[in-house]
Amino acid sequence: MIGATALEDPVVVLGVDVGKRFIDCVLLEDEEPVHKRFENTIEGFELLTAWLRREKVRKVHACMEATGGYGEELASHLLDHGHVVSIVNPMQIRAFGQSELSRTKTDKADAHLIARFCQKMTPPAWDAPSEGERRLRQLVRRRRALVEMRAQERTRSKGPGTENVRDSLLESISFLDEQIERLDQRIQDTINHDDDLRGKRNLIESIAGIGPTTSSTLLAETPHIKTFASHKALAAFAGVCPQERRSGTSVSSSRVTRIGNREIRRVLYMAALSALRCNPVIQAFADRLRTSGKRPMEINVAVMRKLVVLVYGVLKNGQPFDPQWGLDG
């Protein structure tokens, strides 16, 4: 899914379950699987590679889930040390586990499941982002963190019992406003000085409803969009595939799956609201869904997915969005 680099001869498999604080690793060789846990830090990465050397493993095919960024520093570290890395959509791992009737849910068990998936399915190797893409990702994620801080401070400033600290809160909000504005400029400068990023940004923003925040997030979180096999694969990665729950004659309304990149879903939600106001193609698409009896939440999910389809289309074809495009897909 992510990446297109061909794999070489079979190597030892390393399944990695990535968490915010720790990484659980399961090494699959001829003998029993070996489990080890490390901190999700640079020091932890160094301990991991030292452990592999002690295990007399020259090269591994490491596999991990796409979890929104926690594992990509580790992936880059392993790549720099000569290993092969695959980053796989969590839905694929889940489906594989269901096929095995897997029931145990622990970090160690998840790492073992990922290792077995890698051993049997041989997923394609990950293409590491360029230096410009890595810089953009850091800036975009820092901006997101500051926006969340600002929202918290704004909420506090409007709450009761804050009259003695309101000046401090307003100063904090003003400072965050300034920092966010600076980051916005740095993000645009990073994109403008990179021919590939600039070209992709211009194509994405040719779709009415998608602005700088959405385009920069898409570029930061999915740097190799064009390597996805289809717009369906990209939608699955973003987590905008609708789910319908059906049991007997009972059918619940569709909703967005929780699997996928949460940050992409956040910006797509806002972009969908904007597109419903200003994009004739999206407006016609939504009208058709309303006529067929779809509920508002179902329409929002469908519009988010439609935007992913359009983004994939403009990048794959290398052509700006054409309002005359059909509504199928």
Per-residue model confidence as pLDDT tens digits over 4-36: 444 555 479 999 999 989 999 999 976 689 999
Q: Let me know: does 215 contact 280? Beta carbons within 8 Å.
A: no
Phi, psi of 16 (to 5 degrees): -125, 120
Phi, psi of 63 (to 5 degrees): -130, 135
Alpha-carbon 313 to chain mean position? 19
CA distances from 89 to 8, 100, 236, 239, 314 (A): 22, 18, 8, 10, 23
Q: Kindly state the percentage of the chain with pLDDT values over 90.
A: 65
Tokens representing 83? 């290993």
Q: Which helix (H) or strand (E) holds 243?
A: strand 242-243
- Using left for φ > 0, alpha for ψ between -120 and 50, and beta otherwise, residue 161 falls in left
Distance CA 118, CA 86 (A): 8
For helices 212-221 and 131-157, the axis angle rounded to 10 degrees is: 130
Closest CA to 259 of 22, 14, 65, 16: 65
**CATH number for the segment(s) 12-121:** 3.30.420.40
Distance CA 269, CA 207 (A): 15
For helices 231-238 and 296-317, the axis angle rounded to 10 degrees is: 130
Phi, psi of 80 (to 5 degrees): -65, -25
Q: What is the pTM of this model?
A: 0.78
Q: Let me know: does 308 contact 235? Beta carbons within 8 Å.
A: yes
Helix, strand, coil content of the chain in percent (nearest 5) = 55, 10, 30
249 secondary structure, DSSP code: T
Residue whose structure tokens are 């400033």: 157
Task: Report pLDDT digits (tens) over 215-248.
Answer: 999 999 887 787 788 888 888 888 786 655 544 4
106 secondary structure, DSSP code: S
Q: Confidence band (pLDDT; 50, 70, 90) for 257?
A: low
CA distances from 6 to 78, 92, 218 (A): 17, 19, 25
Task: Report pLDDT digits (tens) over 78-110.
Answer: 999 999 999 998 888 988 988 887 777 898 999
Residue whose structure tokens are 């469908």: 302
Task: Report pLDDT digits (tens) over 179-202.
Answer: 999 999 999 999 999 999 999 999
